[in-house]
Amino acid sequence: MTKLLDKQLDSSQPHRRELWQQFKKLPDPISKDQAWRFASTRKYRVGDLTSTENLSEGKLCELSTRSTILDAFSGQAVLAGNQIVGSLILDDETAALGVTLNSLGENPVIESSETLGGDKFQALNGALSKNGIILTVPDHVEVKQPIVIVHWAGSGGSFPQLHVEAGLHARLHLVEIYFSIGDEAGFNVASTRIRARAGSHVSRSVIRNWNVDTTAVHLEHLMVHRDAYLQSTNLNINGGTLRQETVLSVQGQGANADLSSISIAGEGQEFDQRTLQSHEASDSRSDLLFKNALLASGRTIFSGLIKVAPEAQHTDAYQTNRNLLLDPTADANSLPGLEILANDVKCSHGATTGQIDDDQLFYMRSRGINDQLARQLLVFGFFEEVIEKIQLPALESRIREWIETRFQ
């Protein structure tokens, strides 16, 4: 891959070549590094990976049809590998309000962000991103229906970017969905930056439902300003190996953020989530709730840190990780942490790992419910607290259908 891409990188874009050189110089991740502790780091070595090839018009049309997840939406963008599928859609009412949904094209936004160990992959994304989306909502504008971004990962590498700017007192619900085109192995390295300006309200739902041979590194930087609210829910339903880094920057007084997640890990699957809740202003709040259900030989990793700056007095920050083991071969790892530099705060963290309650299983068996269905119902009950945060009934129904397939 290295020699091939050295030749392909356009010499007229020195920023790309600079990031490519940075990628090559940075060491591969190793599990001895605290930032990659417990991770199966060999799965993240790029090796001979090549960029996903462009698809035929017929295949693009097929993917466009398969991308209709919600009947009602204000806008939609579909990406397949490194291509935009069809046109970027905004309804007339939303466009008239000044909302813009554009392609980054061959000029990705090159902006350094804090990572939690993924510097090498941030450089890789910046060097190779060929397409991405930039969504801007002007001040005091409410987008009535969700904006939907659908990503299709094929064989080879894809490197999408998403940049979202919600203006002063704007309101937006963003839905991001990741699928696999087929059964081929893919490598998806994505960079997402979302800024919620003062007084804005941003809800975000991310669904990852790949094939089991997909490896992904997703780097998220979420910025919340004065009196703004950001709700971000990640649902990792299927895939192979995922590294998800979420940096939450609470930057304004009165800012409020909720981070939540569910993951279902089975044989050969590993979902590795690293988070930072960074409070940089007073009277702010953040709450994190990550839940994992682990099937036979599934692995999850959660490593989270709440960091409160000296000036961030009266911060309320909470962090909870709960793991439900459905098989004795499952492996859940939790590393919660606090770094508090202010003296008038309310902060807590906790992690629990347990198995399904035998009494609950017995109760269901006594009423004629078989073990497979009983476990499925208990997992739905375990996840419901997170799913209901989405507040889009049509999408919640689809999510439950996708989760159900994991137990068939």
pLDDT in tens, the chain (408 residues): 555 455 556 555 788 889 999 999 999 999 999 999 999 999 998 876 677 777 888 888 899 999 999 999 999 999 998 888 988 999 999 999 999 999 987 665 656 678 999 999 999 998 888 888 999 999 999 999 999 999 999 888 999 999 999 999 999 999 999 999 999 899 999 999 999 999 999 999 999 999 999 999 999 999 999 999 999 999 999 999 999 999 999 999 999 999 999 999 999 999 999 999 999 999 999 999 999 999 999 999 999 999 999 999 999 999 999 999 999 999 999 999 999 999 999 999 999 999 988 888 889 989 999 888 888 899 999 999 999 999 999 999 999 999 999 987
Write down the pLDDT at residue 54.
79
Residue 242 backbone dihedrals phi, psi, to 5 degrees:
-125, 130
Return the residue matching tokens 């269905």: 373
Residue 380 backbone dihedrals phi, psi, to 5 degrees:
-60, -40
CA dihedral 348, 306, 322, 350 (to 10 degrees): -30
Ordered DSSP codes for 338-384: EEE--SS-EEEEEEEEEEPPHHHHHHHHTTT--HHHHHHHHHHHHHH
Return the closest-CA partner of residue 206 out of 215, 219, 197. 219
- SS3 percent helix, strand, coil of the chain, rounded to 5, is 20, 40, 35
Residue type present at position 261 = S
- Alpha carbon of 24 to those of 5, 47, 107, 119: distances in Å? 11, 11, 21, 11
CA distance 8 to 389: 44
Which tokens hold the place of 333? 């790892």
Write down the pLDDT at residue 11.
52
Which tokens hold the place of 395? 């999408």
Write down the pLDDT at residue 112.
65
Write down the pLDDT at residue 109.
62
Residues 6+ apart with CB under 8 A from 349: 304, 306, 318, 319, 320, 336, 337, 338
Domain boundary assignment for the chain: 2-357
Say how far residue 82 (Cα) sits from the centre of its chain: 18
Write down the pLDDT at residue 10.
58
